[in-house]
Structure 1
Amino acid sequence: MQGQNPVFIPGPTNIPDRLRHAMNMQTLDHRAPDFVDLLTPVRAGLKKVLKTETAEVVTFPGSGTGGWEAAVSNTLSPGDTVLAARYGMFSHRWIELCQRLGLTVQVIETPWGEGAPADRIEEALAADKGHAIKAVLATHNETATGVRSDIAAVRRAMDAAGHPAMLYVDGVSSIASMDFRMDEWGVDLAVTGSQKGFMLYTGMAIVGVSRKALQAMETAACPRAYFDFRDMIGANAKGGYPYTPPLQLLFGLGESLKMLLDEEGLDAVFARHHRMAEGVRRAVAAWGMKLCANRPELCSDTVSAIYVPEGFKSDALVNHAFRTYGMSFGVGLGEMAGRAFRIGHLGSLTPSMALSGIATVEMAMADLNYPITLGAGVAAAQDYYRTTAGVPQQKAA
């Protein structure tokens, strides 16, 4: 029976029945006067998730990549220089997007398994005496390597350099699952999507836009039409949308925000993700394997990327788990292709569900003669989950 197992890819994530039911609705008139009653609380809830009191939040029909393009095209001009570190597939793709939009990208090459190098960012900005660099791009959670970057440290580096560049952050696989502090960290553009921590279908790009970014929007010259912040913000202010909105996703987002903010609470959401992730990390250690994240403080609470032993191919493991046991795990991307697989542990998951993924991938490894002891990873995760049940979890800021 297919479709009954949870997925363990780092997004799209499992969708709770409650949210599927919320999105299972008849067509409504988005030009009707009561559309504002749907849109206004959704926008207010998104600001709470981003932890901002001052930013505008805009939503576009699209994926996180659409959010990237919106952030860049609304606030920069062709020929502008941006500074970006490349330390995984998604930081790489953001760099490529900027180049295709006609920007000059000053790239800081960084080993995969590391996060955004705040010290080197500070050096590059300090050397930019003419302030040619208009923006710094950082990926908060590198989905390809399971690495979380310290965005607060990036902001401190920018301030130490005395540089006026804006800070753009990709939070697609972190926001609504891991703590994100837009105002405190001085983030100017924060990008995420509906299909990860918000536990919905793919199709909604969400962008937080600071006051400084709104000012930059007035002089930015990159072409934009569909993703124009001005059209969206203007229509939202009147309680509408500049074109047909994805109503089903807006209803789903409203229900998701109730679950995250009003019922579970953000602190509990973050603690749950930390606990699930730590159980997976205990299992990896019991298998005698290594995470792609080079140090414990870099470990993501939403996805673990795991090196397979020498002589094994990670794609074969992922394919075997799917074909034999009907369960999906993430393949290795970019430099990790064939060398690592990924266990996504975000969104609508519990430690008990996480155990099913640990047990299944462990069976697949045993089938393929990996040098593991069957049950070792499950036992390690069980021991952690059992002894931490009901215990408040500590989370990195």
Structure 2
Amino acid sequence: MTTGRHFLQIPGPSPVPERVMRAMDMPVLDHRGPEFQRLGQEVLEGCKAVFQTRGPVVVYPSSGTGAWESAIVNTLNVGDKVLMVETGHFATLWKNMATKLGLEVEFISGDWRRGVNPEAIGARLAEDKELKIKAVAVVHNETSTGVTSRIAEIRRAIDGANHPALLLVDTISSLGSAEYKHEEWGVDVTVSCSQKGLMLPPGLGFTAISEKALAASRSNNMRRSYWDWEEMLKPNATGFFPYTPATTLLYGLKEAIAMLLEEGLSNVFDRHKRLAAATRSAVQAWGLEILCQEPLEYSPVLTAVVMPEGHDADAYRKVVLENFNMSLGAGLSKLAGKVFRIGHLGECNELTLMGALSGVEMGLTLADVPHQTGGAAAAMRALLDSAAR
């Protein structure tokens, strides 16, 4: 038996704010009627503001995995060559999907501690004189590692190589938490979902689409039905959907967008940066190692912490859960048992973070993990310093 609220400090799904939960506490409505039409128009327009685009954003009743598939089947053909980068577990899963769908994937290997190297992308595209590579597909914020890739630099590298490849970007764990500019950065398809920075339950997948991607979707011949953008965009023009939408989640999406815009996207991004910097101060004070090795690529969404040799991260997470009612993120695939992940995204604020970091530090002591004390105090100092500026 535990008391108090559960601390959900995984890097998504993130806690759902009370405002969003109340907004979803609505009766099911007629998804062909005028009340739903107003809701549909409002959320579809609001999504553009969050993605920072004037182009269409398609909303599916799906997970982010569904949005991955949507990006592929609407823009590419079986046998097309795609350049992808091994930045972590989720980049690998997207690569596996692309292979299953019949694409030829060139997968640049990585050590899971750094993001995409824009120079490597540019160099490879410059070599592609026959223009066989049809798309570059990368993960913005790799949820398994706490590494954020520099999308604007990747776009410049593609342009510098004078290559027509489409740019497809996964923002599943970064949208609404880390700075992202779909249109300004020249992204062709941005993939995301509801349960991370948008602070909703799982169940909605998103694709933001450029004019170039729309043109590709009209000429490609990969089979699709449920994921077909054209089938979505026609009824979306008047606020409707081609099949039954997730109406209750759309009420929540409307409220989540309102919360983000009320705070101001730049303020949202700054808040996440502050919380991430304070978390790293704690990790460094504990004498532990941050998995991400490039400071320019530190994630504002989560921090992955390397366990000392001989200590199991899952055993440590179990101690924290059983003693302090807090969930920390597990290490995934080849990082299993080697790292734990602290999520600091969504509705998280300074006091939430301090509670979480205190639990992490107490757990380190109870689990006999070698560390120095004072990490939570170091985070507090970092937060006070940022508040004083």
Give me the TM-score of the superposition, normalised by structure 1.
Answer: 0.96
Q: 1:194 to 1:329 in 2, by over 3 A?
A: same
State the distance in 2 between where 1:105 and 1:82 align: 5
Distance in 1, Cα, partners of 2:359 & 2:287:
17
Q: Is the 8 A contact 2:29 2:36 kept in 1?
A: no
CA distance in 2, matches of 1:32, 1:39: 11
Give the superposed CA RMSD.
1.1
Superimposed CA distance per residue, residues 95-133 of structure 1 (whole angstroms, 9 cap, x where no aligned partner): 001001011001111221110111111111111111111
Once residues 136 and 255 of structure 2 are traced to their aligned partners in structure 1, the CA distance between those partners, rounded to angstroms, is 34
5 Å-filtered alignment, 1:1-397, equals: 1=2, 4-53=5-54, 55-261=55-261, 263-374=262-373, 376-389=374-387, 391=389
Helix, strand or coil for the counterpart of 2:34? coil
Per the TM alignment, residue 34 of structure 1 is displaced from its structure 2 partner at its CA by: 2.6
- Provide the secondary structure at the position in 2 that maps to 1:238: coil
The amino acid of 1:384's aligned partner reads A
Between 60-69 and 382-391, the greater mean CA deviation after superposition: 382-391
Q: CA deviation at 1:25?
A: 1.0
Deviation of 1:238 after TM superposition, in Å, equals 2.9
Q: CA deviation at 1:6?
A: 2.5
Q: How far does the alpha carbon of each residue in 1:323-347 deviate from its partner, in whole angstroms, 9 at most, with x for none?
A: 2221100001122211110001000
Please give the per-residue CA displacement for 1:15-36, whole angstroms capped at 9, x wherever unaligned: 1111101111111100112322
Q: Deviations over 1:119-159 (max 9, x none)?
A: 11111111111111110011100111100100011011101
Q: Please name the residue that 1:395 is paired with.
A: none
SS in 2 for 1:82: strand
Matched positions, count:
388
The runs of 5 or more residues in structure 2 that have no matched partner are none
Aligned to 1:305, the other structure's residue is in SS state: strand
Looking at structure 2, the residues matched to 240 and 3 of structure 1 have their Cα atoms a distance apart, in angstroms, of 41
AA aligned opposite 2:351: S
Structure 1: distance between partners of 2:61 and 2:239: 17
Equivalent pair of 2:15/2:346 in contact (CA under 8 Å):
yes
AA aligned to 2:19 is: R
Indicate conservation of the 8 Å contact 1:101/1:222, yes or no.
Answer: no
Structure 1 residue 290, shift from structure 2 partner:
1.0
Deviation at 1:390, TM superposition (A): 5.7
Deviation at 1:204, TM superposition (A): 0.3
User: Secondary structure of 2:231's match?
Assistant: helix
**Other structure's SS at 2:93 match:** helix
Partner Cα distance (1:318, 1:219) in 2: 49
1:27 maps to amino acid: V
Q: Which amino acid aligns with 2:385?
A: T
How many Å separate the matches in 2 of 1:299 and 1:124? 25
List 4+ stretches of structure 1 deviating above 3 A: none
**DSSP 3-state at the match of 2:327:** coil
Deviation of 1:82 (Å):
0.4
**Runs (5+) with no aligned partner, structure 1:** 392-397
Q: Residue type of the partner of 1:93?
A: L
SS for the counterpart of 1:328 is strand
Distance in 2 (alpha carbons) for counterparts of 1:132 and 1:388: 48
Distance 1:146 1:68 in 2: 20
Tell me how far apart the structure 2 counterparts of residues 46 and 247 of structure 1 sit (CA, whole Å).
15
* Residues 44 and 239 in structure 2, CA contact (< 8 A), matched pair in contact too: no
Matched residues in 2 for 1:160 and 1:137: separation?
17
Letter in 1 for 2:387: A
Query: 2:41, 2:238 within 8 Å by CA — same for their partners in 1?
Result: no
Closer/same/farther in 2, CA of residues 369 and 18 from structure 1, 3 Å limit: same
Structure 1 3/121 Cα, relative in aligned 2: closer, same or farther at 3 Å?
farther
Q: Return the alpha-carbon distance in structure 1 between the equivalents of residues 288 and 123 of structure 2.
A: 35
Q: Is the 8 Å Cα contact of residues 89 and 334 (structure 1) preserved in structure 2?
A: yes
Partner SS for 2:305: strand
**1:180 counterpart SS class:** coil
Q: Deviations over 1:220-272 (max 9, x none)?
A: 222211111111101111321100000111110101111101x2110110111
User: 1:138 and 1:61 mapped to 2: Cα distance?
Assistant: 23
Q: 1:3 to 1:24 in 2, by over 3 A?
A: farther
**Secondary structure of 1:31's partner?**
coil
State the AA in 2 paired with 1:69: E
Identity %: 43
C-alpha displacement of 1:49: 1.1
Distance 2:179 2:289 in 1: 25
